[in-house]
Structure 1
Amino acid sequence: MSVPVAPGRLPVLGHTVSMLRRRHLFTALLRNHGDIVRIDLGTMRTYFVTDPRLVHDLLVTKGSSFRKGALFDRFQPVFGNGLATSNGEFHQRQRRMVRPAFHRNRISHYTATMARAAADWTADWRPGQVRVVEEDAQALAVTIVGQALFSTELGERAIDEVRRSLFIVLKQGMVRALSPSFVQKLPLPGNRAFDEAIARMRAIVLEVVRGWREDGVDRGDLLSVLLTARDPDTGAGMSDEQVHDEVMTLLVGGVETTALALAWTFHELARHPEVERRVHAEVDEVLGGRAPTFADLGNLVYLRQVVNEVLRRYPVWFLMRRTLAPVELGDAALPEGAEVIFSPHALHHDPASFSDPHRFDPDRWSPERTALIPKGAYVPFGAGARQCVGNLFAQTEIAIAVATVAARWRLVPVPGKPVRVKFTSAAYPTGMLMTAVPRN
């Protein structure tokens, strides 16, 4: 493919439907055309950043010169004005108010919820039983995040509604985000399902919020933190509407990442017996048969390396930013309002940053090898001022859940039933059938 050079020395690529269908290959190959490649997506001109150090500049060094991009504008009906979509001073204010919910002391408290939910998940397993692991992982992730958010009886109803509606929102929300704006107005089944799911979740979340306002009791859950938070400058709290938006952000952001990571972790452990053996040996030595705690994570060193490697192998496809003013990024002068794209998936599979990048290798996260990874090459939760506020919660949840299961069970793939993968915002496994085998 010939690539003409645009003014400012940026290579320019058009796009075709066939290219976007092969999007992971397409984004991975962009690095061959330069550190920043201009791509015209229909009438929208975008700049795709392929160099990890420039991604670090985009997210961290010059992060204040950017806001969320066009992709996040499309998610406004889902997140409202939550942390994922808000910008500027309002975003900074909200982040200050939400951050205490994810302090290490709070996460240590939630660890018991994580371990208990994982133990309950496996309580009714039977030797030889075939599990649909991606469905189990989704249910477990919803339970953990839901119980951390809502601790009341009404909260249990909210969790049930999240189980019913959230994955409709995730699936159809990404379809909407990647489709022309007129598509969401068509009377399509997917549009109706999305609108109904959003309406149901909105109603139950606001009902829980109003119920909390009436009781006014701090129950130690995430919702209590949001409702008691105060702006340190003004002393003002959040409105019910804003609490709803932040709850939706935490649900959508917290469930998808951890559900996918859990499913792929058990898949990779089954594919790599030596990795699985090392995880089991470490879990046995550290836990000795008891439930894991937050303090144990410091000793579950190899397990955390496995989690890092899963997050490297199975991240989101791409993210976007928009320039607030003219910005110099590397050798490129980007105009105000420019849409900038980077792909965590492409960055995480760049052979210049990760040797043999398609090989599952937890040892690449040993301290001596981690030190060699360039800044911006590993961004499963973003970076800088807009890094996912719940990143430590998610990493803790994955490790605690895997440790709890691995202490008692192995999951073995069903012969002749290969896992199918559907790429939307990330790699979704379908038909991940695995047999539950007791370790003892």
Structure 2
Amino acid sequence: MSSPGTLSQMPVAPGRWPVLGHTPSLLRHRFGFTSSLAGHGDVVKVYLGPLPAYMVTSPRLIHQILVTDGKKFDKGIMFDRFRPFFGNGIAMSNGPFHDRQRRLMLPAFHVSRIADYATVMSEVAQAIAESWQANQVVEVDQAMLRLSVTVAGRTLFTTELGAAAIAEAQRSMPVVIRQGMVRALSPGFVTHLPIPGNRRFDQAIQRLRAIVLAVVAEGREQPGDRGDILSMLLAARDEDTGEPMTDQQVHDEVVTLLTGGIETTALALTWFFHEIGRHPGIEERWHAEVDRLRGRPLTYQDVAKLPYTNRICKEVLRRYPIWLLMRRTNTDVDLGGTLVPPATEVAFSPHALHHDERFYPDPYRFDPDRWDTAKNPPPPKGAYVPFSDGSRKCIGNHFAFAEMAIATATIGSRWRMVPVPDRPVRIKVTGAAYPSQLPMTAVPRAV
């Protein structure tokens, strides 16, 4: 049996700049750059400034990183740069501390709790739908952001300060997420430059921290299960020591949930309606399914009664996933015959995976029937990772999927969302795909 190769033998991606490495190519071309790397090998060296990182393009190796050898990897440099601002929540933490925090948080996302949260999802979506007028032009991206912020806030907080926290999240989270990705991929000195983006980011972080800590303090004064996520976090106790989370730990987990539960869900909802509007045949089948529930308020149990809606959701998550994820080895790893030493930065692109024609024929075609298991085999392990995978799989994945299905079906029972002519929609990319705009006309449905 031959010994593993070394990282020095890895191919280097084209487009490296002096000093800045591949960062300009990553930030300027994003999807195009990461999608091109599979043509250079299963593992390709890129430079984030002077720092080497290894982009993995093989689903088999990505499954190894996330699942098989998941404990051999920590979060990478991107998360190191986020951590001072977002805190050390489960999306940022490593090792035993991460495992402890995840155990403490899991009860808040048990299926029985999600069933309760589904009532909120249905109520919020119904209120959004009832606020529109016939033939009104709706900025769908902004409406879905309001929807996801309100759902996140009402399920997280039921205290008096909760409303203020929701308002601040709606104001600050888009700035934090979009500017945060630029910071994560830029050389360290960029974060200290007195430029408008940095100032907006720092101010948003300060405002968000202040309101979340205030809500945590208010929650401490009102002990007991209020049916929200915050009260469960405050009541959680370590199974070994019996210790609760500190206020800082609760703050970090709340910010983590706001970060993961608002922007990404809002984008998925937005792209759902965009794709429905572009494909009349899909829209017709979807409305026929939604109409079988007769417009009544939906529950968590109804999600299973919407198989075509679920396939549309899966296809949206395939077409519009997060762009880039990073990990760092904490021990020696044999990665596809290459010996990777500790403290090596490893990255992969869910977007590139989800658009690889080896696994998804005609990958830029929107086709919910890809996910009809009676007709098509599933993609290989590691080729579909909208929520990551393994021990670090998004803790709110079932919450997010239920929100997508319930919100879209609730709105779709009442409205057709029709694209506005001469208002083209372009994709803008930071850490995820954003629409440049998404105006749609809300046309009443005669059901």
Give yes or no for contact 1:262–1:398 (8 Å, CA) kept in 2.
yes
Aligned counterparts, 1:328-407, within 5 A: 328-369=334-375, 371-407=377-413
Q: 2:221 aligns with which of 214, 226, 229?
A: 214
* Residues 283-332 of structure 1: per-residue CA shift (max 9 Å, x gap): 111x1120111111111000000000000000011100000011101121
Distance 1:258 1:70 in 2: 25
Q: Which runs of 5+ in 2 are unaligned?
A: 18-23
* Residues 151-174 of structure 1: per-residue CA shift (max 9 Å, x gap): 122211111111121112112212
Distance change (3 Å), C-alpha of 1:232 and 1:282: same
Q: 1:100 aligns with which of 102, 107, 120?
A: 107
Secondary structure, counterpart of 1:90 in structure 2: helix
1:313 paired with 2:319, answer yes
The one-letter amino acid of 1:73's match is D
Aligned counterparts, 1:239-254, within 5 A: 239-254=246-261
Q: 1:263 aligns with which of 266, 270, 295?
A: 270
* Residues 138-161 of structure 1: per-residue CA shift (max 9 Å, x gap): 111100011100112221111111
The one-letter amino acid of 2:165's match is A
* Residues 47-93 of structure 1: per-residue CA shift (max 9 Å, x gap): 11101111001100011110000111111133201011100000000
Q: Shift in Å at residue 204 of structure 1?
A: 1.0
The one-letter amino acid of 1:10's match is M
Kindly, what percent of the aligned residue pairs are identical?
Answer: 56
Distance 1:296 1:7 in 2: 50
Q: 2:41 aligns with which of 34, 47, 64?
A: 34
Q: Shift in Å at residue 6 of structure 1?
A: 7.8
Q: Shift in Å at residue 7 of structure 1?
A: 5.8
- Of 349-358 and 184-193, more deviation after overlay is shown by 184-193
Q: 2:297 aligns with which of 288, 291, 300?
A: 291
1:129 paired with 2:136, answer yes
Distance change (3 Å), C-alpha of 1:290 and 1:344: same
Distance change (3 Å), C-alpha of 1:20 and 1:212: closer
Distance 2:262 2:367 in 1: 25
Secondary structure, counterpart of 1:48 in structure 2: strand
Distance change (3 Å), C-alpha of 1:7 and 1:144: closer
Normalising by structure 2, report the TM-score: 0.95
Distance 1:363 1:389 in 2: 27
Distance 1:398 1:242 in 2: 28
The one-letter amino acid of 1:392's match is H
Distance 2:6 2:100 in 1: 40
Provide the residue aligned with 2:121 in structure 1: 114
The one-letter amino acid of 1:393's match is F
Give yes or no for contact 2:224–2:235 (8 Å, CA) kept in 1.
no
Aligned counterparts, 1:419-430, within 5 A: 419-430=425-436
Distance 2:60 2:203 in 1: 42
Secondary structure, counterpart of 2:421 in structure 1: coil
Q: What's the C-alpha RMSD, in Å, of the aligned pairs?
A: 1.4
Normalising by structure 1, report the TM-score: 0.96
Aligned counterparts, 1:146-185, within 5 A: 146-185=153-192
Q: Which runs of 5+ in 1 are unaligned?
A: none
- Of 397-406 and 35-44, more deviation after overlay is shown by 35-44
Q: Shift in Å at residue 276 of structure 1?
A: 0.7
Q: 1:57 aligns with which of 55, 61, 64?
A: 64
Secondary structure, counterpart of 1:75 in structure 2: helix
Q: Shift in Å at residue 368 of structure 1?
A: 3.4
Distance change (3 Å), C-alpha of 1:293 and 1:22: same
* Residues 90-120 of structure 1: per-residue CA shift (max 9 Å, x gap): 0000000011111111000000000100111
The one-letter amino acid of 2:238's match is D
Give yes or no for contact 1:318–1:341 (8 Å, CA) kept in 2.
yes
